[in-house]
Amino acid sequence: MSPDTWHILSVFVAFVAVLFVCGIYSILVTRNLLRTVIGIEILIKGVTLLLIVVGYITNQTGLTQSLVITIIVIEVVVMVIAGGIALSMFRNIDSIDTRNLTKLKG
Amino acid sequence: MTINIILLIAMTIATLWTVMGRSLLKATLGLAVTSVVISVLMFRLDSPMAAVFELSVCAGLITIIFVSAISLVKPLTHKEAIVVSKDRMKRFRYLPLLVILFGVIAGFFGIPNDFKPIYVALANDVRTVLWSLRQFDMFGQIVIIIAGALGVVVLFREKEKR
Amino acid sequence: MPSLLVLIPLFGIILLNLPFRRLNEKYVFWFAVFLLSVQILFTISHHSLFWQQGMGYIDSFFKVDFAIDSLSFIMLLCIAIVSMVSLSVSRYTIPDPRERFKFINLLMIAAIGMNGIVITKDLFSLYVFLEITALSSVVLIAFQKDMNALEGAFKYLILSSIATIMMLFSIALILLVSPGTSFAVIAAALKESPNSAVIIFAMGIFICGLFIKGGLVPFHGWLPDAYTAAPSAVSILLAGIVTKVCGIYTAIRVIAFVFGFNEVIKSLFMFIGLFSILIGALAALGQKDLKRLLAYSSISQVGYIILGFGTGTALGMAGAVFHIFNHAVFKSLLFVNAAAVEKRIGSSDLDRMGGLSYRMPITGSTSVIGVLSTCGIPPLAGFWSKLVIIIALWQSGHYMYGTIAVLASILTLAYLLLMQRKAFFGKLPKELENLKDLKEVGPEFTLPSIILAMITISVGVFFPFVFDKFVVPIKSIFMQ
Amino acid sequence: MKNETLLLLTVSVPVVGAFIVPIVGRVSEKLRNLLALAFVSTSFICSLCLIPSALSGKVTSIAIAFPLGFNFVLTADCLAVFMAAVSSFISSVIVLYSFDYISHYPNRDEYYLMVVLFLGSMMGLVFSGNLIFLYIFWELTAIVSWRLIGFFREKHHVLMADKAFLVTVFGALAMLVGFLFIYQKTGSFDLLVIKENFKGVPVPDIAVLLILVGILSKSATLPFHTWLPDAGIAPSPVTALLHAAVLVKIGVYVFARLFISTFSLDAAWHVLIPIIAATSALVSAGAALVETDMKRVIAYSTVSQIAFIFLGFSVNAEIGIVGSLLYILMHGLAKGGLFLCAGIVEQNTKERDITKMGGLIATMPLTAVSFLACVFSVMGVPPFGGFFSKYMVFSGAVTSGQVGIAVTFLFGAVLTILYLLRLFNHIFLGESHGKIAKEESVLMVSSVMIFALVSLACGIYIKYPFLFAQFATKQMLGM
Amino acid sequence: MLTNVLLLPITVPTAAALLILMLPKKFRAAIDAISLFGSFLILLLSILLFKRNLSYSMPALGFGIEFSLRLYHFSGFIVLAAAFFVFLITLYSNAFLREKSYSKQFYVYLLLSLAFINGAVLSDNLVSMLFFWEGMLITLFGMIYIGGKRSFKTATKAFIIAGVGDLCLMLGVAICFYISGTLAISKLHIPISGIGGAAFILLMMGAIAKAGSMPFHTWIPDAAIDAPLPFMAIVPASFEKLLGIYFLSRISLDIFEMSPDSWASMTLMIIGSITIVFAVSMALIQKNYKRLLSYHAISQVGYMILGIGTLVPAGIVGGLFHMINNVMYKSCLFLTGGAVEKQAGTTDLEKLGGLKKYMPVTFICYVITAASISGVPPFNGFFSKELVCEGALERGFIFYLAAIIGAFLTAASFLKLGHAAFLDKSKNGKLPIKEAPIRMLIPMIAIAALCVLFGVWNSLPLKLFIQPILGQERLGGRDFSGMPHNSLLVVITIMVLLGALLNHRYGVKKHGSGLKAAEHIHHAPVLSYIFNKAENGYFDPYNIGLNISYGFSKVAFLFDRAIDWVYNVFIIKVSKVFTAAARSLNDGSYKSYIIWSLLATGAVVIFLIKSMIGA
């Protein structure tokens, strides 16, 4: 493997890791439900980017592109459902604060 | 190669902005910007189809969904927003530090240099892969879209008795 | 042929959702029952054909081929049985036909997802179908849209998305070394590429993603909340089969056929299995709510499965798969009874119950059978699968694990007897006395519970025949 | 061929019959009672027919091979036939007794189902030649005793039933782990194969310890004995059947089957077990002397007498083993009689606290006399069978050189005399507290008389049980 | 045919007993006739069997246990004596139990205990002897229980004491089998060193418990009041003595090789002398006719044990001769007590008095037997006591002194009893007391006559019954019949008797009535404190034993409750702690779940990498 492909890979991995940290951070820190969903979205973007880079390095761009397309489609649906849950939660208690999501415990 | 790095940096800045942004609306916009930068990157890594898809769906559709969701949900009053963001501010001061640190570690240790990924000689292009090899996934996507539709029907429909 | 399993329900759903709504609502239940019974008959009738087959019947209708071997047949059987039970229970717990129409559609999609997982041979499509099942179960949990349901659904959604992200991450890294994503290709690639840190990292991430989906102890946070929040029909489905197919079956399929077994992974699985047996049982001991208790109990029983699988020997894995089947049966039995009790009393709080077996004799006695089978008391099925797992542990030399696993079933017995005593035996509390309709629940509950009880007893009593017909072929798969 | 069918009948008739009983119960009460008695007595008669062939030294056995070494083996050697005959006789008399006793209480079908199933699983356990099936029937008896102790469905009763169930299952699981250690060494669960492999070699101590935990918990010896007195709340025929005559004998039988006939214990155990037995005998005898509830006193006395049987088995002297086998017979009869008398007294006077009773001998002479007969047999007063078994257990302890243990058991025997006489005086003698209780049902009194008379007959015609037990011991020790 | 004749002494009384049991209660006459005829038949049988040497044994069971009988001189003599006294007592109780309701039960128990005593005496195997020996426990309990409403307490006390003794005997037998390997009494020769010593102690305790000597005696005085009088006449007075002393002598002569100066004989002698002194001093202070007699029964056993304990020919012959004499005059005294009770209605000495006029025959019999028990020369008691004293003197002055003190106090107490009951003026109003019916008088007269016969012509019993037991070589060629050889002892005994007479006169003058003749001894400074304590059972070993066992059982019960506490409370507490810990993981917020999952993933990945790379 030529040194530069290793170089590209490690740079992208670094930045994907950064994306990963921002996503996790945004999920754990926020008190608003929608920010958590955004956090998940950031994580997905990181993974898609990684997939694309891997495809580029191993010259399997066709395969990785189709995988990415499927992932994006699935994630859209998940986001919609998450939004739906946030909405019905809002309808019940007029707030989407995550602190009310802790009744089931023990 | 340097252009990629510049783009990557831009992406990081955009994500940081979405995560640290005070109001929700700014966060969604930040998300849209990051997805645009990523689709540009994808173009550079010669996977155009994915880039187009990313651009249209992520940047477009998801942002629309988020904006509509935010509009449906009553926005925090201004005063509450400040309170929320102030205490978030306290916790945020570590974020940049954390991000940079993590990035350096991942970059440095991430991929050991003895590691040799393979190089596939004849790679078929997207169209053949998508339609011939991945038909089963396409079927999966259809099912998940139907599931999404049903989920929306269940979740968004107002309950009659209320 | 197996792909029909997945296709027919899909087209059926599309057909049903067409305009003439009143007509569909009546028939949707019987349509679903028809589909599931087709699946049961298919698995039962074909077992002779396929049981002996190794990698199974390759169906070329799709480019990506499928594989049905005896392992997947047992899973298909469990999926069909548990969905049938959940279907019949939902018919009673969700009175309004419109709601039930949506419910059955979602149930069918979840069944499609699980069928897909079981028959797929490709890592990425495994992810796709995992996502389908997860999504439909999230919506099913949030079906009643009250605060608890939403909380449970949201937790399940977040945790399962984290899990899927981990899996995608590891698929990406694996693609660095393997040209394709199907099991055989990856297995070949992994075999000859050296054990570098990246690959091990990918494997680790993938296993932990599966553990989250399977609800094993350090990752089990969401499981009790999701089970208690869900409507009773859904908790049967979830406890009975969803976690096991998404978490455990995938772990078995991926580890045994893709990543390959080595000492380190075996000891990891054994430790996680034992840890979840103990923590699950101990947590269940102090529960006040019936469904939450059963949720922790299923964590503990899944621990046994992972422990059995962790031995790495063919017998251990066969025992684990056999325990999956048994657990699917007696766990859904217990949840059906819990659903019946909740339907009658309106709450599943153990302290407000008591002496129910006077008024609900069938539920009372079938739950006794469920309790005894879960604890592994001899004449019933639970005992045999636990015994096979324990013997496998002994043969592979792990005495300490074996002893702790056996003595842990005392904890199982303790909390289940606690449940039985608080709920069914003892004295009928005052406010339940005058409850007018505290009588036996309708056939929708009694019929499935009796059938499940019959299955447990017959598997237990006729164990030698069951062992030869079902478990030995599974051993042969893992033999290579 | 004839023996094989007899053996199969003894085990299968009660096990399968048990499930027919409740169905018939729907039709008519009388028919169900008779059917239950028929099932129990068929297994008694079959085991009687097996005696001649067992005495002639022929070991009849049925074996069906199953995968993984769980093969279903029934062997009818002398010890098994002896135990089968004893327990089935006692169960048939108890079933006869429970016709009138249980008719006062609800859910009788379940009672008869469980009693017949209990005997079936007892037969299965006694004849089984494979450790796994031994374990299965062992757990089956645990389930039955759980259901029967919780028969009255009150909260406290169910709690006690759960306690008994948990303790016995804990012991059983420990025993299962012990079995697995043995399986690890020999590679099979069949007793014969194990016997070959352990010809000279002593058994690993960890396996012995674990199996011992199981046995001690089932036959209620010191550290695990508290579930037995607590189970005194069950109906009297249940306590008689389970806690006096048959269930507790299972532990002792398995001790004999494993540690005497299959493999040999090394010397340290032959000193340790008698010490455990001695402490258990003394503690429970002391507790019996202080306890005021009638059933609990008898239950504590069972714990104490079981310790005597353990003493006999665990000292490796042939006379001790024969003594213990006889002790099982005599104690089963006498203790069964005591519990049934307690049942008659309790049912008529509705009173369980012995300090509030008295003077019943005037109104219940027959029960009093048979109670006294059984008391004498437990104490070991001569014309009754108990004397020979107690003497031989003592002689066994002495011939194996453990005179100290023999003296402690002597003190135990004195305590036995004290608490049994105290019990008899409080219930039957002294001035009556105004409770005029007559013996209503002839059936109950006659079954108690049967026990008293059979104890007396065993005493006088000691020759037959003695030779039977001696032959069984010779066969066990492989002489 | 001859051999199973030996079974008859056991089967005939049992058959009679069962026959009586069958008959309903109201056929009183038939019951009396059958019991009388039965006992007469057994008497004839035993006379027939007396002089023969027979043996009979059923096939052996195993471990040395076999049902074998052996009739030889000694056992024949005991069977004869037992049969003789049963016949007399049955005759007596036909009259005495006329209106009592429990007569049928009494006869059944009487005949059964006769069968058991015959069985025990005849059997040649220790276990079959033990079988019959412990069988008497039941008849003992039964006979005392039927005495009255409150008498079940004494019955229990008797049962427990006898039971403890028998259990020690059982352990002793087990040790004998362990040492010698055989249980046949005739073949047993065990040295009394080490474990053999323990066997001797246990067997000796069994024998003494049956004989009713010191540590096991406390049930007899209580039974005197609670039990029916014929029971006191037959069981404590004759059966117990016969069987107990028979077995004690078999132990010391045959089973164990005991030399005269061994520690075993020393213990026997000490027990004997303690029993003599303490029992007779207790008898002195009694106020009730029957209780006084019962204490004397205990003290006389002391003489026998002392005699046999000396292991000197004179002592042994004296002891055995004293046994048969004591059985005679003790039962006759009890019969006189019965006559007094039946006619005067009470046996309390305060209420009795002046019976001499109304019951002359009873008085005469009382005088003869009282004289013979006190050892007045012409009567049989004097000769056997002399022999015992001679033996005791040989072994040590202290034992002789105890015998003499015993003689003095016995004489004093009987003088007191005779004076209070018969000579004082009658105190209770119920005047016209008739003489006892003829069927009660005949046994009394017969036994009194025997006492005189055995006394005056004492060579008959000695040569016929006692001396052949020892056989020539043990006797050393000496013949003990006729006048006692050591005249010095005779003089001392007479001096002691006169002293007792003087003391009695002094007591009567000092305290007025005959009853208070022994007051001055009773209220002596130190003695009065001991007497009061002894009277209310302070030294009673039975009470001490009971307190020990109750104390122990309380401790055992606490220990048992502690174990129960562990099950009911402790395990639940511990499980609660663990449950709380296990549930602490789920604190409700999905954020902590995510943190937990990520941490666990990190741990798994690090573990995998380290171990895989490392391997």
E184 domain-assigned:
no
To the nearest 10°, report the CA torsion of D387, D388, D392, D393: -40
Across the range C268-274, mean pLDDT stands at 93
Q: Which residues of E180-200 are buried (b: 16+ CB within 10 A; e: fewer)?
A: beebbbeebebebeebbbbbb
Domain annotation covers residue E137? yes
Rounded-to-integer distance, Cα B79 and Cα E531, Å = 103
Question: Are D421 and E156 an interchain contact pair (Cβ–Cβ within 8 Å)?
Answer: yes
Q: Which of C127, C140, C150, C181 to mutate to test the interface with A (most CBs of A within 10 A)?
A: C150
pLDDT at residue C54 in the model: 36
Residue B93: is it exposed, middle or buried by C-beta count within 10 angstroms (0-12/13-18/19+)? exposed
> Which amino acid is residue D290, in one-letter code?
V
Chain C CB contacts of B154 below 8 Å: 102, 106, 139, 142-143
The string of pLDDT tens digits covering residues D269-323 is 889 999 999 999 999 999 999 999 999 999 999 999 999 999 999 888 889 999 9
Residue E173 lies in a domain: no
Question: Cα separation of E588 and C151, whole Å?
Answer: 10
CB of E287 within 8 A of CB of E516?
no
Look at strands D72-76 and E68-71 and give their pairing.
unpaired
* pLDDT tens figures, D199-216: 877 788 899 999 999 999
| D102 found inside a domain | no
Domains in chain A, CATH or no CATH each: 3-95 (1.10.287.3510)
Give the model's pLDDT for residue C57.
46
E574 contacts on C by Cβ (under 8 Å):
none
pLDDT-derived band at E98, boundaries 50, 70, 90: confident
Distance from CA of C102 to the nearest CA of B (A): 7
pLDDT value for C465: 83
Given this model, what pLDDT does residue E477 score? Answer: 67
Alpha helices in D107-266 (DSSP H): 108-127, 131-149, 155-186, 191-197, 205-218, 227-230, 236-238, 247-255
- Regarding whether E430 and E380 lie in a shared domain, the answer is yes
Say what the pLDDT of residue C138 is: 94
CB contact burial E464-492 (16+ within 10 A = b; e otherwise): ebbbbbbeeeebeeeebbeebeeeebbeb
Structure-token match 């406890």, residue found? C239
Residue of B nearest to C189 (CA): B118
pLDDT tens readout for residues A17-34: 889 988 988 888 888 888
In this predicted structure, the answer to whether residue C55 has a pLDDT above a threshold of 70 is no
Q: Give the per-residue pLDDT at C59.
A: 46
User: What sections of E181-262 are H helices per DSSP?
Assistant: 195-211, 219-226, 229-234, 240-250
Phi, psi (degrees; rounded to nearest 5) at A19? -55, -45
Q: Which of B13, B3, B11 is nearest to B96 (CA)?
A: B13
**Residues E363 and E457 grouped into a single domain:** yes
Report d(CA D37, CA D14) in Å as an integer: 10
Q: Tell me, yes or no, whether E537 lies in a domain.
A: no
Residue D113 has pLDDT above 90, yes or no: yes
The whole-number pLDDT of residue D87 equals 92
Range with the lowest mean pLDDT among C114-118, C259-263, E39-43?
Answer: C259-263
Residues in chain C: 480
**Which among E236, E282, E168, E363 has a CA at the least distance from the CA of E530?**
E282
pTM of the model: 0.90
Residue type present at position C61: F
Q: Is residue E190 in some structural domain?
A: no
How confident is the model at residue E364, as a pLDDT?
Answer: 87
- The mean of the pLDDT values for chain D is 89
Tokens of D370: 């048979």
| Greater model confidence, C179 or C300 | C300
What is the distance between the alpha carbons of residues C159 and E470, in angstroms, rounded to a whole number? 102
Q: What is the pLDDT of residue E315?
A: 84
Same domain? E471 vs E582: no
| Cβ–Cβ < 8 Å for E137, E113 | no
Inform me whether the pLDDT recorded for E320 exceeds 80: yes
Per-residue pLDDT band for D166 (boundaries 50, 70, 90) equals very high
ipTM computed for the complex: 0.88
Structural domain contains residue D439: yes
Number of domains in chain E: 3
E168 within a domain of the structure (yes/no): no
Among the partner residues D67, D158, D170, nearest to C468 by beta-carbon distance: D67
**Which chain C residues are closer than 8 Å to A62 by Cβ?**
none
* Predicted local confidence at residue D214, as pLDDT: 93
Give the pLDDT confidence score for residue B87 in this predicted structure: 63
Residues sharing a CB contact under 8 Å with residue D348, sequence separation 6 or more, in sequence order: D364, D437, D438, D439, D440
Across E449-456, average pLDDT: 84
pLDDT top residue among D276 and D435: D276
Instruction: Look at residue D458 and tell me if it is in a domain.
Output: yes
Q: Which residues of E touch D463 (CB under 8 A)?
A: 61
- What is the span of the domain harbouring residue E382? 312-524
Sequence spans of domains, chain B: 2-113, 122-162
Contact B144 C135 (CB under 8 A): yes
Q: Which of C160, C165, C222 to mutate to test the interface with A (most CBs of A within 10 A)?
A: C165
- Work out the mean pLDDT of chain A and round it to a whole number: 86
Q: How confident is the model at residue C66 (pLDDT cuts 50, 70, 90)?
A: low
**CA–CA separation, E306 and E294 (whole Å):** 19
Distances (CA, A) of C172 to A64, C204, C210, E494: 9, 13, 16, 127
Question: Mean of the per-residue pLDDT values for chain C?
Answer: 84
| E96 and E230 assigned to the same domain | yes
Dist. CA C177–CA C167, nearest whole Å: 16
Q: Mean pLDDT over residues C335-339, rounded?
A: 91
By C-alpha distance, the chain C residue nearest A70 is: C128
Chains D and C touch (3+ CB pairs under 8 A): yes
Establish whether chain D is in contact with chain B, requiring a minimum of 3 CB pairs below 8 angstroms: no
Lowest mean per-residue pLDDT among A77-81, C87-91, D204-208, E531-535: E531-535
* Average pLDDT rounded to a whole number, residues C235-249: 91
Tell whether E305 is covered by a domain: no
Q: How confident is the model at residue C257 (pLDDT cuts 50, 70, 90)?
A: confident
Contact C355 D136 (CB under 8 A): no
Please give the pLDDT value at position D351: 84
Rounded mean pLDDT, C462-474: 79
Does the pLDDT of residue C426 top 80, yes or no? Answer: no
Task: Quote the pLDDT of residue E466.
Answer: 77
| Segment B128-134 mean pLDDT | 70
Instruction: Report residue C56's pLDDT band, with 50, 70 and 90 as the boundaries.
Output: very low
Structural domain including D276 reads 266-479
pLDDT, one tens digit per residue, over C183-202 is 888 888 888 877 788 888 89
Selected residue with higher pLDDT from C475 and C118: C118
Q: What is the mean pLDDT of residues D397-425?
A: 91
Identify the pLDDT of residue A81.
Answer: 92
Are the C-beta atoms of residues E514 and E423 closer than 8 Å to each other? yes
C-alpha C125/C-alpha E583 separation (Å) is: 36
Of B26-40, C10-24, C100-114, C276-290, the poorest mean pLDDT is in C10-24
Are residue E122 and residue E230 in the same domain, yes or no? yes
* Average pLDDT rounded to a whole number, residues D236-255: 87
Cα dihedral C159, C160, C162, C166 sign: positive
In a domain, E289, yes or no: no
pLDDT in tens, B8-59: 999 999 998 888 777 788 888 899 999 999 999 999 888 888 899 888 888 8
Residue C219 to chain E, least CA–CA distance (Å)? 5
pLDDT at A45: 93
For Cα atoms E573, E575, E576, give the angle at the middle one, nearest 5 degrees: 65
Q: How many domains does chain D have?
A: 1
- The tokens describing E142, both together, are 């039964």
| Interface membership of B158 toward C (CB under 8 Å) | no
Q: C53 falls in which pLDDT band (50, 70, 90)?
A: very low
Cα angle value D387/D392/D397 (rounded, 5°): 130
Nearest CB neighbour to D226, from listed E127, E198, E567: E567
